[in-house]
Amino acid sequence: MTDEPTLREAADDSDFRIGAAIDPDALRSDPSYWRTASNEFNAVTPENALKMGPLRPSRDTYDFGDADAVVDFGDRNDMYVRGHVLVWHNQKPDWFQAWDYTDDQLREFLREHVHTVAGRYHGRIDAWDVVNEAVADDGSMRDTVWYDALGEDYLADAFRWADEVSDADLYYNDYGADAINEKSDAIYDLLERLLDRGAPIDGVGLQMHALGDHPDPDSVAENIRRFQDLGLDVQITEMDVAFHADDPPANPDKVQAEFYRDVIAACRDAGCDTVVTWGVHDASTWLRTFRDFSDRFTGDPLLFDDRYDEKPAYDAVKGALRD
Ligand code: XIL
């Protein structure tokens, strides 16, 4: 036995939330997985289970089994639970095709979805990603089924619908907007417009998938501060740190650890208190299975390795929490 605190204890001591995205099948089948998740993290989010596709196997049914498993796990272990995600253009059910609906019907479809899902978890989910990835990489509005039919109104509507049935904090979430850049400028403008219209937005989630080129931590801190100046809370919601597969650094574990440390420090300096990593251990990272990512990026972006052993990144995060 050692007296060394776990990551979770270090986070609790600093009033910080350190989280992991959770796969319900791994929870059910792998004791090391759930032990690591509950001993080392004080926040969870379902990685996929709350997305519209997994939740809605057919036109008339919802299947909440997997989502409930993750939310229950969070509840039982006294963890902060992030809900991900109510409105997104990806991972929709195969049976859902926009051309089957008029624009009015689409709006009603989305309202019913938000009310059903956010309403079910009233009091159990602490924060919701209400809208995910509505802005394109060049800063224009992303051309999605929702935007195409409903225009920018769908964002304000989605936040209002979520607010009608949920007591959670409501977030806009996106990738590639972690530092000051064209896309985060556009998101800043979008959120300012939505707030001006009275949309009940509490915060912004910066995903922080640092997969090849890593953003400058000083610019991340400046970005966090400007969103806070809009009155928004800022959380880092999907962090993982990888490298271009064809050009990794000589000492990837060290560079990875330093980047984790710098982001936690930037976050804490700016007064942000939540960082969720996108998986429990390297063997469960999406980078190994998603599209061609395994060719493009290194596949060990998390705090624990394939055997659940602590990596240099783990020590770096813990150190940054205790500084
Ligand atoms: C990813 C999951 O990790 C994968 O398992 C799934 O196949 C695709 O989606 N941005 C998001 C997350 O908001 O929902 C995505 O999660 C990663 C990028």
pLDDT per residue over 184-236, tens digit each?
A: 999 999 999 999 999 999 999 999 999 999 999 999 999 999 999 999 999 99
Helix (H, G, I), strand (E, B) or coil at 304: strand
Taking the CA of residue 14 as centre, how many other CA atoms within 13 Å lie in the half-sphere pointing to its CB?
A: 26
Q: Which atom of ligand 1 is nearest to the CA of 51?
A: 14
Q: Whose CA is nearest to atom 3 of ligand 1?
A: 286
Please name the residue whose Cα sits nearest to atom 15 of ligand 1. Answer: 47
From residue 307, alpha-carbon distances to 30, 231, 281, 310 in Å are 12, 42, 8, 9
Distances (CA, A) of 287 to 290, 293, 300: 6, 5, 8
Establish whether residue 129 lines the binding site of ligand 1, counting it when its CB lies within 6 angstroms of any ligand atom: no
Residue type, 113: H
Per the listing, tokens 């650890």 go with 257
Q: What's the rounded Cα separation, in Å, for the pair 296 and 287?
A: 9
The confidence score (pLDDT) of residue 147 equals 98
**Integer Cα distance of 243 and 248 in angstroms:** 5
Q: pLDDT at position 3, please? A: 79
What is residue 318's DSSP assignment? Answer: H
For domain 7-322, the CATH architecture is Alpha-Beta Barrel (3.20)
- For the chain, give every domain's residue range: 7-322
| Cα 286 to averaged position of ligand 1 atoms, centre (Å) | 7
Atom 8 in ligand 1: which residue has the minimum CA distance? 290
- Residue 2 is predicted with a pLDDT of 62
User: Using CA atoms in the order 27, 30, 35, 38, what is the torsion angle rounded to 10 degrees?
Assistant: -10
**Ligand 1 neighbour 42 (Cβ under 6 A):** no
Cβ of 132 below 6 Å from ligand 1: yes
Helix (H, G, I), strand (E, B) or coil at 76: helix
pLDDT tier at 292, thresholds 50, 70, 90: very high
Alpha-carbon distance of 36 to 117, in angstroms, equals 28
β strands within 52-194, DSSP E: 80-87, 127-132, 169-174
Q: Is the CB of 284 under 6 A from ligand 1?
A: no
Residues 6+ apart with CB under 8 A from 219: 179, 180
The pLDDT of residue 1 is above 80: no
- pLDDT, tens digit (0-9, with 9 covering 90-100), for 63-100: 999 999 999 999 999 999 999 999 999 999 999 999 99
**Which two tokens mark 263?**
């982001």
